[in-house]
Structure 1
Amino acid sequence: MTATPSQAGDPPEPHIADEQIQLVDTRNRPCGSAPRVAMRRFRFWHRATYIVVRNTRGELCVQRRTLTKEVFPGGLDLAAGGVVGAGEAVHVAARRELAEELGIRGVPLRHVLEFVHAEGGNHIFGSVFLVDHDGPLTLQADEVADAFWLSPDEALALDGITPDTRQAVQALRAEGELEVGP
């Protein structure tokens, strides 16, 4: 599997701190929006997507975050994904994040489960999707430093996993969704 960084000529992203995020209440009902920087500062409840990428061997795509990420710089993610923009549907956000971070487009995403992550100042309603992919990866240079494939057991045993993606994969495992078929 080849992972290549995005090209320097890609269009510039809007300033991430100014990005408008969909805010929700403690029951996951939309209640406005705020810039990302305010959402982080005031620890507002928000939605996020988690797209677990699995190959035909049952291995998960593990991504190393760049050192410039605002949360968990240099950490390991067990899922692509991110916060849901203001007015954005979660499945649209999932497709966008998967394309941006790993360059995966046009593959079926399967929504599997929802979970709540309230830890370390983060207040997230997470939507978990599963995608099967054996093709090449094109890494978003400003967010993903590296990507590699490991079995679910090996991935979960790593140090430095972001707590929300660990929770997402553990929830998938509890649902029996990471079993490799015959």
Structure 2
Amino acid sequence: MSDIVIADEQVQLVDPRNRPCGSASRAMMRRLGCWHRATYIVVRNARSEICVQERTPIKETHPGWFDLAAGGVVSAGEAPMPAARRELFEELGVRGVELIAGGEFVFQEASLKLYGSLYWVDYDGPLRLQPEEVAAVRWLSISEALSLDKATPDTRLALARAIALDHW
């Protein structure tokens, strides 16, 4: 997906109580710091390692950092589960797997304000990376992943929530 298309993508906006209140382009949502929804899918293999993505240097936030979960913003009119399935396929090429729901959480840092929907999936198959967003992946233990200096703060919170739910 090109930068122009990504910037124009219509995002579901919500109020501070997570109630839908319209939509805006991704660029406008970022510029105004609007509340929105996002999905987080922790991908775990049979060795209990998680798939950590290295973000490309052209990402709009935290370029070159590491994501401890797949996922992204929920499009206008889209529900979180279909958004999670879409993002998992777009970023890693994974489809046809059972997503296990882990609830919601709130993340707020500076102008980034979102309601995250957490999922995880057990997966040992091949990956097909989205070149615009994912530079590389590596499989790390949870402790290795959490010790990364440049792990994105929202995916760090998502992983901590999954651990707290005792699904490891």
Give the TM-score taking structure 1 as reference length: 0.90
Q: In 2, distance between residues paired with 1:149 and 1:71? A: 22
3-state SS in 1 of match to 2:120: strand
Q: What residue in structure 1 maps to residue 139 of structure 2?
A: 149
Number of aligned residue pairs: give it.
167
Root mean square deviation of aligned Cα: 0.9
Gapped regions of structure 1 (runs ≥ 5): 1-11
Segments of 4+ moved more than 4 angstroms: none
Alignment pair present for 1:52 and 2:27: no
Q: What residue in structure 1 maps to residue 20 of structure 2?
A: 30
3-state SS in 2 of match to 1:138: coil
- Please list the CA deviations of residues 82-127 of structure 1 after superposition, one character each: whole Å capped at 9, or x if unmatched: 0000000100000000000000010010111210001131101000
Alignment pair present for 1:84 and 2:39: no
Q: In 2, distance between residues paired with 1:51 and 1:102? A: 11
3-state SS in 2 of match to 1:15: helix
Q: In 2, distance between residues paired with 1:141 and 1:93? A: 19
Alignment pair present for 1:117 and 2:115: no
For residues 1-182 of structure 1, the aligned pairs below 5 Å read: 15-177=5-167, 179=168
Displacement of 1:135: 0.3
